[in-house]
Amino acid sequence: MPFDGTTYEPLLIHDSLVEARSLIERGWCGTGPRSPVGVCMTVALSDAAARKHDYDVYLKAQLALLAAVKDTGFACGGMVEFNDSHTKEEVLAVFDRAISSLDPHETEPQRKVAA
């Protein structure tokens, strides 16, 4: 509940994805985890979620991102392979898809089903 000191996990998952997207927008690395100019999508999510919240938040954010990768039709691996074989704009679009698939106000995070 708001203001009672409890942590609202769906909002943390949503915010972690938004923050990870922001890290990619500021600087993206398409050929490895980190470079002087940016980070890959896996490191961005780790920096935004795993280091600030508990592991469950990180895992649920990662699952939302993986589902968004799958929705693109990409079937040659996970986030690392997608990041390294696509453009920054395509990576940002996957974050947008994952973010929009979650409703941070739901009591249980559920992916919206595409019509």
pLDDT at 102: 87
DSSP 42-97: HHHHIIIIITTS-HHHHHHHHHHHHHHHHHTT--S-SHHHHHHHS-HHHHHHHHHH
pLDDT at 42: 93
pLDDT at 104: 64
Compute CA distances 25 → 30, 37, 40, 75, 89, whole Å.
12, 11, 11, 24, 9
Pair of tokens at residue 16: 């972690």
Q: 3-state class of 107 per DSSP?
A: coil
pLDDT at 53: 82
Pair of tokens at residue 23: 């890290």
pLDDT, tens digit only, all 115 positions of the chain: 455 555 567 788 999 999 999 999 999 999 888 899 999 999 999 999 877 788 889 999 999 999 999 999 998 889 999 999 999 999 999 999 999 998 766 545 455 544 4
pLDDT at 9: 75
pLDDT at 107: 46
- Does residue 45 contact residue 17 with C-beta atoms inside 8 Å? yes
| pTM of this prediction exceeds 0.75 | yes
